[in-house]
Amino acid sequence: MGLKLYLDLLSQPCRSVFIFAKKNGIPFQRRTVQFLKGQNCSKEFLQINSLQKLPVLKDGDFILTESSAILIYLSCKYQVADHWYPSDLQTRSQIHEYLGWHADNIRNIFGVTLWIRVLAPLIGTQVPEEKVKRNRTYMDHALQQLESKFLGDKPFLVGQQPVALGNDVFVGRPRLAAWRGCMEASLGTELWQEAHGPIFNILEQMTKKTLPVPPPESQTNMLFRISKIP
């Protein structure tokens, strides 16, 4: 039956899984599920993941959600190079440490920018200005922690080679900008552009009004997500 990955490359967790699988030559069938078209709310997709979230891995009858779990599964099943998910217990534990921190301090905070600039206006609403300002403060704090705690003077977050974290934070801070450069160089420009093309182009699509307006069932979920922004 083969490995299937359900993805929307507008999503950072989906890009992480896509980049990792492509870079390591893992054979998979890509199933695009477009969030903005409400395809994650379809009856067909609900049979795959009732939580309506992406990415999803389907390996035969086995289904796995959450990008960090998928990355670990792929690392172990396909026995990729050790630097992606090191066998050394302490180094592996550092990866788990970062993944736990990332979910609360990078993923939840930096994803708000997309909601502020694209998704909320797309459905005719806006994020309150006090939340926008508060989010900027959270972003600055998270970037400082990312630099001081996890990156330091290393080219990558753990060790001297990339690991299966798949984060794509782009900032103007010198050390983090250099880290991003190392990531792009390691992955290759072609793969980097393929994975990030949709998110790089989304503001232009917004300006040209070529983005699809999400269907009502998706808008309900989107409004709920916007209400949860701290």
What pLDDT is recorded for position 150?
81
> Could you tell me the residue ranges of all domains in the chain?
3-77, 89-227
pLDDT digits (tens, 9 = 90+) for 97-138: 988 888 888 888 888 888 998 999 999 999 999 999 999 899
User: pLDDT averaged over consecutive 10-residue blocks of the chain (230 residues)?
Assistant: 93 94 96 95 95 96 96 95 92 90 86 90 94 91 85 60 39 67 83 90 88 92 91
CA–CA dist 107, 101 (Å, integer):
9
CA–CA dist 50, 59 (Å, integer):
17
What pLDDT is recorded for position 1?
65
- Look at domain 3-77 and name its CATH class: alpha beta
Which residue, among 58, 57, 52, 56, has the nearest Cα to 39 in the 3D structure?
A: 52
The DSSP bridge pattern shows strands 29-32 and 3-7 to be parallel
72: which 2 tokens?
């670990």
- Do domains 3-77 and 89-227 share one topology? The answer is no
Query: Burial code of 133-147, b = ≥16 C-beta within 10 A, e = fewer?
Result: eebeebbeebbeebb
What pLDDT is recorded for position 176?
72
Q: What would be the CATH architecture of the domain defined by 89-227?
A: Up-down Bundle (1.20)
What pLDDT is recorded for position 182?
77
What pLDDT is recorded for position 158?
52
Sheet holding 56-59, edge to edge: 29-32, 3-7, 56-59, 62-65
CA–CA dist 52, 45 (Å, integer):
7
What pLDDT is recorded for position 160?
39
How far CA 227 is from CA of 104, 142, 224, in Å, comes to 17, 22, 5
Asked if residues 31 and 6 have their Cβ atoms less than 8 Å apart, the reply is yes
